[in-house]
Amino acid sequence: MTPGGTRSGREFAHIHTEYKDDEHADVVVAKRRGEPWQAYQGGGQGSMHLCVSLRDAAEVVRSGWGEPHLLAGAQMGGGARLARGTLLLYAPRDETEVGVVLRVLQASLLYAQS
């Protein structure tokens, strides 16, 4: 992430594939083929990677909505460093939680624009 919360100037957040239950046709076929869960769940089951201010990141973690990205603050290839405010935001499970996630996403957009 560059200062201001964008990844290489391209994105400030991305969403992982939506969770599919065990009866979903894609899951049934993938399991039958012996594919790992990442092949049909996208590895995140509706979670999101995004970058917010350190204060907002602390609030997200403290409130149980996410956790620091595994590589937050780490040196990446080419000398870039992943911002310390980069998070894994947990997937919403209902309409109320969608509202919370949208507020965090808005905070991420505002941070990226700063």
pLDDT per position in the chain (114 positions), as tens?
344 554 445 678 888 877 777 888 888 998 899 987 666 665 566 789 999 999 999 999 999 999 999 888 898 878 888 899 999 999 888 899 999 999 999 999 999 998
Q: Given this model, what pLDDT does residue 3 score? A: 44
Candidates 76, 71, 103; CA nearest to 87 is 71
In whole angstroms, what is the distance from residue 29 CA to residue 26 CA?
5
CB of 30 closer than 8 Å to CB of 39: yes
Q: Given this model, what pLDDT does residue 9 score? A: 56
Q: Given this model, what pLDDT does residue 98 score? A: 92
CA-based R_g, the chain, Å? 16
In whole angstroms, what is the distance from residue 4 CA to residue 12 CA?
9
